[in-house]
Amino acid sequence: MRHFVIAGILVIVATVLMYMGLNAAHLMPVNASAQATEIDWMWNLQLMGMAFLFSLIVIPMFYSLAVFRPKKGDTTDAEHIEGNTPLEITWTVIPLFVVVIFAYLGAGNLSRTLRISPDAMVVNVTGIQWDWKFEYPEYGITTTELYLPVDKAVVLKMTSNDVIHSFWVPEFRVKQDLVPGRVTELRITPTVIDDYKVRCAELCGTSHYSMEEFVRVVDDTAFAGWISEQQAIAQEALATPEGHGQLLVTTNGCAACHSINGEPGIGPTWFGLAGSQEELEDGSIVIADDAYLFESIRDPRAKVVKGFNPTMPLYPFTDEEIADIVAYIKTLK
């Protein structure tokens, strides 16, 4: 009985030290949303469970090696044990109850995390190889950065233009896939004013590593000021075709592949493109006139430039929008 008491005390001490050590390691990033609070609470329970189970296995093992090792010269056999039915039932039933309890707590935690707020602000999110687009339908603006007011519930209605992406801000804890042809939802209530980054957590192609954008959580005053500023920029852009084209290019991730300053990229640079001669993969030469530029945006695989792969996704631009983008490309000289 003495050995059980000693081993039990050592298990408890090791569990506490293990839990404190894991907490001190700061395994999780900053808690910056109401959803993160719920998730971190569940994570702490699991951390305690992991620390206990680790100690329950390791401490008796090393205690037995130290205390019950054979004496020098002892060559006798140890006691032969066939089994222990009560012990086997115990270590089957208790873990079963623990798993059921954790499942119940996890279901309640998930329910609170997904709880619908009737006054939540809607932001439409589109994943694009390899960028993000954020539309605020209530304010009539579209941007490449996500601005969120602190302590206000937000529902992100998300889809993808091409392949599966995954919206993930580590400080918010929650994560959701963006699936082509479907709208998925993610609910966030930011609680800490700061700058974060959204990352794609689903391998989505060549430049997956760079598919990240700023998420800025600000107070109500700063958010209202930013909305006014973006509305003014949008109004100014709509005044000319090339301005509207630049806005479309900026908010649809075109710069992820096409530079506007002549630097090489995944796709041909747009600097000096209009009116230039382009060699295609079949060796033919074409003039990059309005018709060629229009066709290349509408059907990127119709004429592929030599040295580049036909990886550009199809964009649901209208003919008027494509014409505006062509007008913008023609200004890049």
**Residue 258 pLDDT:** 80
Q: 279 and 218 in one domain?
A: no
Residue length of the chain? 333
Q: 230 and 129 in one domain?
A: yes
- Whether 68 is in a domain gets the answer no
Of 82, 113, 144, the one marking the end of a domain is 113
Of 177, 207, 236, the one marking the end of a domain is 236
Residue 105: phi and psi, rounded to 5, are -65, -40
pLDDT > 90? residue 186: yes
Q: 308 and 288 in one domain?
A: yes
Asked which of 17-21, 34-38, 127-131 is least confident by mean pLDDT, the reply is 127-131
Q: 138 and 198 in one domain?
A: yes
Q: Could you tell me the strand order of the sheet in which 175-178 lies?
A: 146-149, 212-218, 194-200, 165-168, 175-178
- At residue 85 the predicted structure's pLDDT band, cuts being 50, 70 and 90, is confident
**Residue 251 pLDDT:** 73
Cβ proximity of 283 and 291 under 8 Å: no
Three-state DSSP string of 230-261: HHHHHHHHCCCHHHHHHHHHHHCCHHHCCCCC
- Whether 243 is in a domain gets the answer yes
**Residue 250 pLDDT:** 73
Distance CA 79, CA 121 (A): 69
Q: Is the model more confident about 189 or about 267?
A: 189
Mean pLDDT of the chain: 86
**Residue 100 pLDDT:** 94
Of 205, 236, 267, the one marking the end of a domain is 236
Element (DSSP H or E) covering residue 14: helix 2-24
Nearest to 48 by CA among 26, 23, 80, 84: 23
Q: 307 and 287 in one domain?
A: yes
Provide the pairing of β-strand 184-188 with 212-218: unpaired
**Residue 22 pLDDT:** 85
**Residue 239 pLDDT:** 67
- Whether 79 is in a domain gets the answer no
The enclosing domain of 285 has a CATH number of 1.10.760.10
Tens digits of per-residue pLDDT, 297-314?
888 887 888 878 777 777
Beta strands (DSSP E) in the chain are 121-128, 131-136, 141-143, 146-149, 154-160, 165-168, 175-178, 184-188, 194-200, 212-218, 277-279, 285-287
Q: 245 and 184 in one domain?
A: no
- Whether 206 is in a domain gets the answer yes
Q: Which domain covers residue 293, as residue numbers?
A: 238-329
**Residue 16 pLDDT:** 92
**Residue 255 pLDDT:** 72
Q: 14 and 55 in one domain?
A: yes
Q: Please give the single-letter amino acid code of residue 26.
A: H
Q: Return the structure tokens found at 95.
A: 């873990």
Q: 252 and 230 in one domain?
A: no
For residue 160, list its beta bridge partners.
Answer: 127, 180
Cβ proximity of 123 and 154 under 8 Å: yes
Q: 128 and 159 in one domain?
A: yes
Percent of the chain residues topping a pLDDT of 70? 99
pTM of the model: 0.72
- 68-102: b or e for each residue (b if 16 or more CB lie within 10 Å)? eeeeeeeeeeeeeeeeeeeeeeeeeeeeeeeeeee
pLDDT > 90? residue 260: no
Distance CA 135, CA 57 (A): 52
As a whole number, mean pLDDT of residues 194-206 equals: 91
- Whether 138 is in a domain gets the answer yes
Tens digits of per-residue pLDDT, 66-78?
888 877 777 777 7
- Whether 125 is in a domain gets the answer yes
Q: 102 and 196 in one domain?
A: no
Nearest to 163 by CA among 151, 181, 175: 181
Tens digits of per-residue pLDDT, 233-257?
877 767 677 777 777 777 777 777 7
The enclosing domain of 209 has a CATH number of 2.60.40.420
Number of domains in the chain: 3
Q: Is the model more confident about 122 or about 28?
A: 122
26: left (phi over 0), alpha (psi -120 to 50) or beta: left
**Residue 182 pLDDT:** 92
- Whether 107 is in a domain gets the answer yes
Q: 125 and 108 in one domain?
A: no
**Residue 236 pLDDT:** 73
Q: 140 and 223 in one domain?
A: yes
- Whether 71 is in a domain gets the answer no
Q: Is the model more confident about 320 or about 192?
A: 192
